[in-house]
């Protein structure tokens, strides 16, 4: 459960960074774009890699829940965070 929570928290923060950098008016974002915020996941990884990393973390979080019965609410958290991914 700790790994699930950590994965979910980091994925959420990465989405926040992606949204913040994207909302600064950057059309046609790609690996070469350097966002204004230098201390963000998108600045470190680039938009494509940051987005792919978030997708992988969310998939891993969902897999971590398989052994637990009655995990539907926790899976909803994963889905809600995934919906925010631009």
Domain residue limits, the chain = 2-83
Mean pLDDT of 60-74: 93
- Per-residue pLDDT, 86: 82
Contacts of residue 24, defined as CB under 8 A and 6 or more positions apart, other chains included, come to: 35, 36
**Which pLDDT score is estimated for 60?**
95
Q: Which residue has the higher pLDDT, 32 or 81?
A: 81
Q: Cα 5–72–66 angle (5° rounding)? A: 65
Question: Each residue of 10-66: pLDDT tens digit?
Answer: 999 999 988 887 766 555 454 455 545 567 788 788 888 989 999 999 999 999 999
Whether the predicted model's global pTM rises above the 0.75 cut: yes
């Amino acid at each position: 459960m700790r790994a699930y929570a950590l994965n979910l928290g980091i994925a959420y923060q990465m989405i926040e960074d992606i949204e913040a950098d994207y909302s600064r008016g950057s059309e046609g974002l790609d690996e070469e774009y350097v966002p204004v915020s230098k201390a963000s996941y998108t600045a470190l990884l680039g938009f494509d890699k940051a987005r792919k990393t978030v997708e992988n973390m969310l998939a891993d979080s969902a897999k971590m829940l398989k052994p637990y019965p009655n995990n539907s609410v926790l899976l909803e958290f994963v889905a809600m965070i995934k919906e925010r991914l631009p």
